Structure 1
Amino acid sequence: MKKYFKYVLAVALSVFFVSCYEVNEEIEINSDGSGTYVTKMDMGQLIDMMQTFAGDEELKKDGLDKVYDTTILFKSLLDSAKDVTAEQKELMKDGKMKMQMNIKEKIFKMDMNFPFKDQNSLQLLMSGKGGSGTGISSAFKNMFGKKDEPADQPGAPKAPDMGDFAAIYDVTIKNGLIQKKVNAAKYKEFMDRPEMAQMKQLNSSGMEILYTTTIKLPRAAKKTDNPMIKLSEDKKTVTMKYNLLELLENPDKFAYSIQY
């Protein structure tokens, strides 16, 4: 089982941005500021790539021809995880991930669920401090990697993950306000990374990462400032859909403020 997880997670992390797939970010806020932060990733198209590079026989040797449906509690990963801060551990300790994989049916899904206790915790999650960001990647590598496996070389290119994208925004969460503004310095630092030139080529070639944010508010929204935002009939559900790779060219397009 460990060999299976290590292989699958390595593929998912290293090929994260080389295939178009869908991400759904679902946030539910209760009247007391608590709630749930859920990220659902459908990476079924990675299976074709895995079959191309590894071949069906190799996948069968590793047991990947079997059907997997399992739930991982992040609490079991965090005690031994390196490079995960105390803040990240606190955010992630009650979280869980459901993984489904079926090669034959082209199914590869990861659903991550993190309850949050207050507005500050949600602000950290939306800022890329937890969820599908670097904290989880570190936890996965620590749990499923070999003890004698060499660490990443200093200065080596690192493929960006969702946490890196989220981190270019300054997020403000208050009672009655959800706001995301581009942090120009963080955006410049992000785009100056050597691997980002390749990322921009993916966007120009028509690649897509379809990203949907859905926020369920404790009361009706009063005002939003982004025309891409759609409100439900009762104005308690906010939805925004876009191609995440477009953020590389115009991050301000996806900034927003929601008053409720």
Structure 2
Amino acid sequence: MKLYKLLSFSFLIATLTSCTVTENMYVNDNGNGKFSVDIDGSSLMAMAGDQLGDQMGADAKKNIDSTFTFKQLFEEKKDSIAKLSPESQKELKKLENYTVNTKMNGEKKEFLMAFSTDFKNVNELHDVLQSLSALQKLEGAGSPATPFGNGLGNNNSNLSYSYDGKKFTRKALIDKQKLAEKAKDSSADMSKMIFASSSYTIKYHFPKKVKKVSNPSALFSEDRKTITIQYPFTDYMENPDKLNFDVEFEK
């Protein structure tokens, strides 16, 4: 299965059902670390795996364990990318260092998808799902709608992270102009229905003990170095600034 076809097929599964999206971050003492966004759409496989296989054809019935980089995918689609606007090309460029791993097993009723990367500083990171929404443009004008066009990740905000050893901040700034345009989009209600039972979980691992988190819903690990916060996916889509918070560390 070609890389873009696999990615499109995988996203179609993720957007057909309730799924759990987990944003994982591991920060080291020197500020570098690992980051991933993990999507678990196993509930669809459990409920309708056989029917899905019948609808999607032979590829859907195969057990898949695939790993590739966006750099490979962009090489495959370089001619299409060259035709995109500079803005879209810039958005896709943000994904270049990410690795994609997809696991699908019909017998185990399992569907897992992960986008991961290493970083030198947390301020390099961005909203992966937002960048993924730009992939819909690779198909070209007049092409059938792709799974990336259903609104997944397009929450009309700019996400940034900062960490100086004393404080960590996750902050999404809403683009009011894009938000107003989205309000006129008739597909917004459909996206809301699709993601109504999905969740967005943040799980961050720090090298120091956490003193306090500005979000009162945060759960702490026993050693207070890991925090977990769960939100409805509709908050991520409609009110991304609700996922903003600050973390202060013990001295």
Q: CA deviation at 1:187?
A: 4.4
- Is the counterpart of residue 230 in structure 1 residue 229 in structure 2? no
Structure 1 position 76 matched with structure 2 position 72: yes
Q: Distance in 2 between matches of 1:248 and 1:99?
A: 23
Rounded to whole Å, the distance in 2 between the matches of 1:191 and 1:49 is 32
1:211 aligned residue: 200
Is residue 2:81 matched to residue 1:85?
Answer: no
Residue correspondences, number: 235
State the Cα distance separating 1:20 from its structure 2 match. Answer: 0.6
Separation of aligned partners in 2, 1:25 and 1:223: 20
Match of 2:114 in 1: 111
State the alpha-carbon separation in 2 of the partners of residues 223 and 249 from structure 1. 26
Q: Could you tell me how far 1:195 is from its partner in structure 2?
A: 1.4
CA distance in 2, matches of 1:249, 1:39: 19
Percent sequence identity is: 22
Give the deviation of 1:26 after TM superposition.
Answer: 0.4
Output the CA distance in 1 between the equivalents of 2:210 and 2:64: 40
Residues 119 and 54 of structure 1, relative CA distance in 2, 3 Å threshold:
closer
- Aligned pair in 2 of structure 1 residues 259, 184: CA closer, same or farther (>3 Å)? farther
Task: Tell me, in whole angstroms, the C-alpha distance in 2 between the residues paired with 1:43 and 1:88.
Answer: 24
Task: Indicate conservation of the 8 Å contact 1:92/1:114, yes or no.
Answer: no
TM-score, L = length of structure 2: 0.75
Q: Which amino acid aligns with 2:227?
A: V
Q: Could you tell me how far apart the structure 1 residues matched to 2:108 and 2:223 are?
A: 38
Q: List gaps (5 residues or longer) in structure 2.
A: none
In 2, the alpha carbon distance for the partners of 1:65 and 1:202 equals 24
Which residue does the alignment assign to 2:32? 34
Structure 1 residues 32 and 135, CA, compared in 2 at 3 Å: closer, same or farther? same
The counterpart of 1:100, out of the listed 99, 103, 120, is: 103
Deviations 1:50-82 (A, max 9, x none): 7436627x62xx343222212112221223442
User: Mean Cα displacement is larger for which, 190-199 or 245-254?
Assistant: 245-254
Tell me the secondary structure at the aligned position of residue 208 of structure 2.
coil
Is 1:160 paired with 2:156?
no
Q: CA RMSD in A?
A: 3.4
Instruction: Indicate conservation of the 8 Å contact 2:174/2:241, yes or no.
Output: no
Is 1:181–1:256's contact at 8 Å kept on the other side of the alignment? Answer: no
The one-letter amino acid paired with 1:104 is: E
